[in-house]
Amino acid sequence: MHVMWACKDLDVVWEDSNQWGFRRSTSFLSFKELLSWILKNHQQPGLFAITGWAIWNQRNQVRTHQPSCSPHLIAASAKDQLAEFSSVQPAHNAPPRMQVRWQPPPQGTIKINFDGATSAKDQALGIGVVLLDENGSVLGSLAQPTTPLHSSNY
């Protein structure tokens, strides 16, 4: 906890941003408690994680007598890394789903609904079929595992 958050040598890192103003006013008994608080209070967990990694990485660089950067540069570097990471993430704009309502078939006919499913993990395929009358009553159904068309069984 000390080496990541409470160390006075890190004041320059954590106080480089208004984001971490709670550092002096809120105390934490463990890193888990600190991380939980950050997640609960929406305090930019991504920036916290990258900054924490950079602190730990620089600590290890110094400890193993490797080239390291000044603590003054850690906060800005973490912000830059987060911005770069965010800029290459795909947008999560899912298209709006069409609302589909089941409609019964005309009287005297049967409606057949079917679907398929795949599992790449299990390398499995399956199909399902349901036969319905004009009232929506199930006349018959089938659920069947199957093999891929490119399988050696064909």
Greatest mean pLDDT range, 63-77, 94-108, 113-127: 63-77
51 and 127 fall within a common domain: no
Euclidean distance between CA atoms 30 and 27, whole angstroms: 9
In a domain, 92, yes or no: no
pLDDT for the residue numbered 16: 57
77 and 14 fall within a common domain: yes
66 and 138 fall within a common domain: no
In a domain, 154, yes or no: no
In terms of Cα–Cα distance, which of 80, 82, 69, 86 is closest to 12? Answer: 69
Which residue matches tokens 């110094």? 62
The answer on pLDDT for 153 being more than 80 is: no
19 and 83 fall within a common domain: yes
123 and 62 fall within a common domain: no
The residue segments making up the domain with residue 129 are 111-146
In a domain, 93, yes or no: no
Helices (H), ranges, 99-142: none
117 and 74 fall within a common domain: no
**N-term to C-term CA, the chain:** 61
69 and 12 fall within a common domain: yes
16 and 48 fall within a common domain: yes
64 and 125 fall within a common domain: no
118 and 49 fall within a common domain: no
Q: By mean pLDDT, which of 73-77, 82-86, 89-93, 127-131 is the weakest?
A: 89-93
The answer on pLDDT for 151 being more than 70 is: no
62 and 119 fall within a common domain: no
| Residue 147 or 114, more confident | 114
130 and 57 fall within a common domain: no
CB 71 within 8 Å of CB 13:
yes
The pLDDT mean for the chain works out to 84
CB 108 within 8 Å of CB 93:
no
pLDDT above 90 as % of the chain: 16
Beta bridge partners of 125: 118, 146
| pTM value > 0.75 | no
The answer on pLDDT for 147 being more than 90 is: no
Q: Amino acid identity, residue 12?
A: V
In terms of Cα–Cα distance, which of 96, 127, 123 is closest to 113? Answer: 127
Calculate mean pLDDT across residues 96-112. Answer: 86
What are the angstrom distances between the C-alpha of 11 and each of 99, 103, 142?
A: 54, 65, 66
Euclidean distance between CA atoms 117 and 145, whole angstroms: 9
Q: By mean pLDDT, which of 30-34, 108-112, 150-154 is the weakest?
A: 150-154
pLDDT for the residue numbered 149: 55
